[in-house]
Structures are given as structure tokens and as C-alpha cells.
Amino acid sequence: MPSQPTRRQFIGATAALVSGLAISRTSLFGAPALVRRLGDKPNSRINGVQIGTITYSFRDRPDQSAGATLQYVLDSGISAIELMGGPAETFAGAPKNPVDMQAVFPLMRKRRENQPLTDDEQKQLAEADAKTKAYRTELTKWRLSAPMDKFDQLRKQYNQAGVTIYGFKPDAFGMDSSDAEITYGMQAAKRLGANQVTLEHPGNDEHTLKLGKLAEKNGIRVAYHGHEQQTPTFWDTALSQSPANAINFDLGHYIAAGQPDPLGFIREHHTRIASMHIKDRQGPDHGKGNLPWGQGDTPLKQVLTLLREQKYTFPATVELEYKVPEGSTSVAEVKKCLDYCRNLLA
């Protein structure tokens, strides 16, 4: 995935919320009517299909606070989201990440995809890994005594502005995470109003079993995300381990992996799909590129039509991964993606 910027602490917008709210440009977080100026609220449910976005889509924005993130969502016209951990945990008082993720994230992607790295890039990654390890220790300690009412407060602010949170994606569910830290992440998600936590599939059966059982205890679903390793049987073991284990399907990556029948997969597994990322990628024969919507090989129209006709209830999550054109912004491009979906579902 492309770069993710560093997070900035945000300042209070009102006296009542001075400890945790933010000013985003000229809009006041904590005053939803002012955020929308005229008081109108977004609605990205189109003919029964909930179009959402993952807030990772706004990673190029310099302000990653909860207030700024809400404004990006509103400006893009989205009414339901999969929320990354950063904005919510920063709002709740988590320690600041010392790593410049905007600089490091593309290098992490190159490493994940086994692309060649220069000596300087390897050095940057090694330094980032060391800082991240120390930060993770500090963050884990904070999570075990985090003020959970802050997540209630954040949910209220987003909901008042017309935005619901259906998924939460903090990095609290790794193989090194304790039961207590995992439980924290699940409980924070519930406080935010989410019905699922999302994470990259760990590729470890013992861990998906553990997560599934903890999700059952906490009354939430664990939705596992995949990249090009997705196959029709990719989630089978996890799904068999617990009714709380679910699929965070990625339609674009599935196409890039050369899988031939995404509609058949969706029909077969729709009851276990908690959410689905949508983007427009090319297939293997065309270079696997991430392209502006309508230019790739991903059957967006057919899939969205299937969701509408079959009345499937899981959200389709816009994940902006193509290069933002010069002169545009991620917010404007997410809005274009939403408009594209609106036209397909008209």
C-alpha cells in the first residue's frame, strides 16, 4: 500500500471537548452542524448497498487526527467507514508514534512484495523497525489502561455528523499481542459502534483460532483481509474454527491474483463476508496495476449489482490505492469512486 503520513496531535474545538477534539481547516470537530455548514449529512447507501471507505484512503493528508479524518470522510460524501487505529487511539490519548510512516510505509510495501531495496532503504527500514518495537511496547502498556469512554465520545461525534463506524483496524491483534491487548481492541471497536475488527490474515491457524474464540467472548467478528494470496479456500480454516471468524474480502487483489470467479466466491460466502474492499486492479495478463476506476479489469458493476439484487448486507469499502492525480487529493478521488458506484447502482 502507498504511504501513510505521520500523525499530528489535534487541539480542542470547544471548551467541553478541549482534551481530545480537533480543528480541521475552518471546521469544528465536535460541532457536526458546523462541519457540514448547512447541517446536511452524507448518505452513501445506494439502492440498498452500503458504500463505505477505509480511512487508510486518506493517508496522504498531513493531519491524521480524528477530527481531520471525520472532515475527509464528510467531504468525500461517505456515511460509513472502516476506521484505522491511529485517529481513534490518538484521540483517546495514545502515545505518539515516533516513526515517520509517510516515509517508511512505501518501503514496507516493497519489502512485503519482495521488491529490491537499496542499501539506504534497508537502513531506513532497520531504524524504523527498532523504533517501532520500542513504540509498540509503550503503546501496549497504554492500551491495557486506556480510557474506554473516549471511544464512546468519538463514536458520538462521528454519529452526530452522520458517519457510522462498522469496522476498526488497530494493530492490536498480532501474534505477539496478549489476550488483554486483543480484548482491548475488540472492546474499543464495540465502543465505536463497529461490528467487526479487521486485520491482515496472519497465516497462522493457532492465531486465527485464538482470535476467533476471543471474538466470541467479546461479541464481535474478526474479519481477515487478504492481498494477492487470496484464493477460494484462503479463509476456510479460519471460518471452520469459529463463527466469529469472517472475511474482509478484497475484490481488486483477488482479480490481480488471477482468480477467475469473484462473483461465485461472493455468492458462496456472503454470510461470512463481514466487509469487502473495492478498487479497480488489472489482472495478471495486464500488469496487475491499480488504476482509476473504470480502467482496470475488476468487475465492479457486476459485483455491486449482485449486492443490490441479492440484498447482501455487508459494506463495500472504497480503498483508494491508485496514484492520486496531480492537482487532486485523496478526498476528491474517494468522492469520484463513490460517484462511480452511484452511477453503477443507479
What tens digit of pLDDT does each residue of 309-324 get?
999 999 999 999 999 9
Using a 10 angstrom Cβ sphere, with 0-12 exposed, 13-18 middle and 19 or more buried, the burial of residue 262 is buried
- Residue 22 pLDDT > 80: no
pLDDT digits (tens, 9 = 90+) for 117-141: 999 999 889 998 899 889 999 999 9
What residues does 105 pair with on adjacent strands? none
Please report which confidence band the pLDDT of residue 107 belongs to, taking 50, 70 and 90 as the band edges: confident
Q: Which three cell numbers stand for residue 238?
A: 479460519
Q: Please, are residues 297 and 337 in contact by the beta-carbon 8 Å criterion? A: no
Please report which confidence band the pLDDT of residue 341 belongs to, taking 50, 70 and 90 as the band edges: very high
Using a 10 angstrom Cβ sphere, with 0-12 exposed, 13-18 middle and 19 or more buried, the burial of residue 315 is buried
Using a 10 angstrom Cβ sphere, with 0-12 exposed, 13-18 middle and 19 or more buried, the burial of residue 56 is buried
What percentage of the chain exceeds 70 in pLDDT?
88
Q: Which three cell numbers stand for residue 187?
A: 472492546
Please report which confidence band the pLDDT of residue 54 belongs to, taking 50, 70 and 90 as the band edges: very high
- pTM comes to 0.87
Using a 10 angstrom Cβ sphere, with 0-12 exposed, 13-18 middle and 19 or more buried, the burial of residue 169 is buried
